[in-house]
């Protein structure tokens, strides 16, 4: 088997994905989030 263990940049994230991550991090820093427990209380499974 010929397996390459050299990392390439083809697996880099798309710009829109990186923008979404940055927006999410900014939301967290600004306090715009709820915990998983709060989410489950707000949106119970029926």
Helix ranges (DSSP H) in 1-46: 15-29, 36-42
* Residue at 5 is within a domain: no
* Residue at 4 is within a domain: no
* Residue at 20 is within a domain: yes
* Residue at 1 is within a domain: no
Token readout for 14 is 């798309």
Structural domain boundaries, residue 38: 15-42
User: pTM surpassing 0.85?
Assistant: no
Number of domains in the chain: 1
* Residue at 28 is within a domain: yes
Judge whether 42 and 34 are in contact, CB under 8 Å: yes
**pLDDT tens-place string over residues 1-46:** 788 777 666 678 899 999 999 999 999 999 999 999 999 999 999 8
* Residue at 7 is within a domain: no
């Amino acid at each position: 088997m010929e397996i390459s263990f050299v990392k390439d940049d083809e697996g880099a994230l798309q710009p829109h994905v990186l923008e979404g991550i940055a927006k999410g991090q900014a939301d967290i820093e600004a306090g715009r989030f709820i915990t998983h427990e709060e989410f489950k209380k707000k949106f119970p499974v029926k």
